[in-house]
Each structure stands twice: as structure tokens, then as C-alpha cells.
């Protein structure tokens, strides 16, 4: 009897559903129209970000035969900038930087959010009160404003911007994890694990965390999109990547002074940001519909 209980505890319901051999959720996601569009956009973005700089041998210092502000053409699909550089190549290079930023921000904010959220939901009221009051204070500011405050303290730079954004988005994940963890901490499998003398950390990360996978995945997708948009905003303001680093925000900033005579310098990087964030948002909506039908994740968060 004890062996049967142990087996049921180690394979929570949500994990069984996610690893079902019928691939039910993948089929639902593939059949979701918004998910199809979002997945296609995200796939293109991912391929260009990872393989583009290798395939196109992007060199941000290369010039296009000395021709400045050439309009879009077959040779230069996005035109050239004031240094004769290929805007298309620079945009691809910027995609890799945005991917780096988003992956690191999502990784840090998700890890910290899960830890703080689980601890807040599981342990004493005093611990919960302390963590959630800190979360409430941080959430009183929009994410981008909080990041600006942190950068003002740390100074500008790509890695500092990444750290600032990670700190800014951690409270959102913390609140989502805590809210869902509160709902499952009294479930039978959690109570049974306590009765068998399982350690607190084993209960948190083996019994409770797998049942939060759905909302965590959805929130990670949304944070990914917001991270790209926020980093572009910081780069535009000169608070993130510094020359000679190339990001989408930097390209838009460099083109604003010539928007009247060479709009493509800013327009194409701007459109790239728009479609990338749109694709990630559509994918997030589809994942929410499939994994989070109760709508615990807020799709209209402040960035």
C-alpha cells in the first residue's frame, strides 16, 4: 500500500497530462489558429536569430560600396544606413542580441519567481507577508519604469539592462506562482507527502511545482515578448547596449534623425520588433487557451 502511494505522489496529475502519449495539448496547440500564426513567426525569428548571423556572415562594420541611405532593393532588402551598412544584416544581428536578452531575463525571473512564490505560499504567514509586501511595492511601478530606476543606480550597459529587466519581471512570476500554489497546497497528494515525512523542499519542487507548469510556461512566453520590447526601449534611450553593439532599439534611435529622408532605417527594425512581439503574444494566447483555461495569467500586464 505504501508503495502505491509513493508512486502516485511522484507523478502528479498535471505531469501525467503533459506527458500523455496522445500528445493532446500539442494537438490542441497545433489546431489553434492564433497559435499557428504565432508559432510560425516565432520559428522564423528563432531561425534568423540563431543561424542568420552565420548564414549571412553579418559584419556590423561592413559598408555597402560606400552608398549611404540606399532605399530597399533586391540587393539590400531593408536598404542601407548613413554608414552604407546593410540594414537587413544589422536587423538579423539585432535578433540574436534580443534573443540573448529575452532568454536570460526569462530564465532569471522565472527561477526567482518560482522560488519566492512557492516559499510565500507554503511557509508561515510572516514569510508570506514579507515576500508579498515586497512584491506589492515592486509591482506598484510598471516594469520598464522599475528597470529605469535600477539602471540609474547601476549605470547603462546591456548586461545591466538584462539584470534590471530580470528584477522588474520577477514579482509578476512570484505572484502568479504564489496564487496557484495556494490553491494546491491543500491537495491530497501534498497532504499525503507531508504525512509521509517528506521534506519541505521535496514537497515544494517535486509535488507542487510540476502542477504549476502550465501557468509558468504561459507566463514565460509573455515575459519573453515583454523583455524584447523593453530592451528595445532601453536601447533606444541609450541605456542598454552601447556601440558598436547592434540592437533593434539602437537601429531605431540611429534612424530617427533621418526619418524624413530615409524612413527605412528605423521602420524595418521597428516592424521586426512589432511582428516578433506579436508572434510571441499570439503564441502566449494559444498556450493560455490550451494550458491555462482558467486564465490565471494576465495577458495585459504593464511592461
3-state secondary structure of 143: helix
* 295 backbone φψ class: left, alpha, beta (φ>0; ψ -120 to 50): left
DSSP string spanning 157-204? Answer: -HHHHHHHHHHHHHHHHHHHHHHHHHHHTTSHHHHHHHHTT--HHHII
Distance between CA atoms of residues 273 and 275, nearest Å: 6
Please, is 254 exposed, middle or buried when counting C-beta atoms within 10 Å of its C-beta (0-12, 13-18, 19+)?
A: buried
pTM of the model: 0.85
Residue 231: CB atoms within 10 Å: 30
Distance CA 240, CA 167 (A): 15
Write down the pLDDT at residue 179: 92
Cβ neighbors of 27 (< 8 A, separation 6 or more) are: none
CB-count burial class (<10 Å; 0-12, 13-18, 19+) for 36: middle
pLDDT by 10s per residue, the chain, length 303:
444 444 444 444 444 444 443 467 777 888 888 999 999 999 999 999 998 878 777 666 666 566 889 999 998 899 988 888 889 989 999 999 999 999 999 999 999 999 999 999 998 789 999 999 999 999 998 889 999 999 999 999 999 999 999 999 999 999 999 999 998 888 888 888 888 888 888 888 888 998 898 899 999 999 999 999 999 999 999 999 887 788 999 999 999 989 999 999 999 999 999 999 999 999 999 988 888 666 555 555 555
Task: Tell me what pLDDT residue 16 has.
Answer: 45
Angle CA(20)–CA(24)–CA(25) in degrees, nearest 5?
A: 105
Q: What is the dihedral of CA 94, 96, 101, 104, to 10 degrees?
A: 180
Give the domain 25-60+72-291 fold.
MetI-like fold (1.10.3720)
- Reading the block at residue 84, the C-alpha cell is 552604407
Q: What are phi and psi of 80, to 5 degrees?
A: -125, 165
Domain boundaries, the chain: 25-60+72-291
Provide the 3-class DSSP secondary structure of residue 79. Answer: coil
Taking the C-alpha atoms of residue 287 and residue 285, their distance in angstroms, rounded to an integer, is 5
DSSP H helices in 2-32: 2-10, 13-18, 24-31
Task: For residue 53, give the C-alpha cell.
Answer: 548571423
The C-alpha angle with vertex 76 and arms to 71 and 82, in degrees rounded to 5, equals 55
For the CA atoms of the chain, what is the radius of gyration? 22
Three-state secondary-structure class, residue 80: strand
Amino acid at each position: 500500500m505504501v508503495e502505491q502511494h509513493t508512486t502516485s505522489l511522484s507523478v502528479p496529475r498535471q505531469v501525467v497530462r503533459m506527458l500523455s502519449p496522445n500528445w493532446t495539448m500539442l494537438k490542441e496547440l497545433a489546431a489553434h489558429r492564433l497559435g499557428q500564426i504565432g508559432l510560425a513567426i516565432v520559428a522564423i525569428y528563432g531561425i534568423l536569430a540563431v543561424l542568420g548571423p552565420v548564414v549571412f556572415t553579418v559584419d556590423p562594420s561592413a559598408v555597402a560600396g560606400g552608398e549611404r541611405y540606399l532605399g530597399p532593393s533586391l540587393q539590400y532588402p531593408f536598404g542601407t544606413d548613413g554608414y552604407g551598412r546593410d540594414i537587413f544584416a544589422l536587423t538579423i544581428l539585432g535578433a540574436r542580441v534580443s534573443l540573448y536578452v529575452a532568454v536570460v531575463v526569462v530564465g532569471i525571473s522565472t527561477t526567482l519567481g518560482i522560488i519566492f512564490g512557492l516559499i510565500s505560499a507554503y511557509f508561515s504567514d510572516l514569510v508570506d507577508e514579507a515576500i508579498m509586501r515586497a512584491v506589492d511595492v515592486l509591482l506598484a511601478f510598471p516594469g520598464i519604469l522599475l528597470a529605469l530606476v535600477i539602471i540609474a543606480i547601476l549605470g547603462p550597459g546591456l548586461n545591466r539592462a538584462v539584470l534590471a529587466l530580470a528584477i522588474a519581471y520577477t514579482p509578476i512570476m512570484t505572484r502568479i506562482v504564489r496564487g496557484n500554489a495556494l490553491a494546491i497546497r491543500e491537495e491530497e497528494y501534498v497532504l499525503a507527502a507531508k504525512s509521509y515525512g517528506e521534506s519541505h523542499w521535496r514537497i515544494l519542487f517535486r509535488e507542487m511545482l510540476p502542477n504549476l507548469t502550465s501557468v509558468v510556461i504561459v507566463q514565460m512566453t509573455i515575459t519573453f515578448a515583454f523583455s524584447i520590447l523593453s530592451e528595445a526601449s532601453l536601447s533606444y534611450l541609450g541605456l542598454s547596449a552601447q556601440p558598436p553593439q547592434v540592437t533593434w532599439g539602437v537601429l531605431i534611435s540611429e534612424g530617427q534623425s533621418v526619418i524624413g529622408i530615409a524612413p527605412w532605417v528605423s521602420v524595418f527594425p521597428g516592424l521586426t520588433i512589432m511582428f516578433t512581439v506579436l508572434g510571441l503574444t499570439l503564441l502566449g494566447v494559444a498556450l493560455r487557451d490550451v494550458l491555462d483555461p482558467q486564465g490565471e495569467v494576465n495577458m495585459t500586464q504593464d511592461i
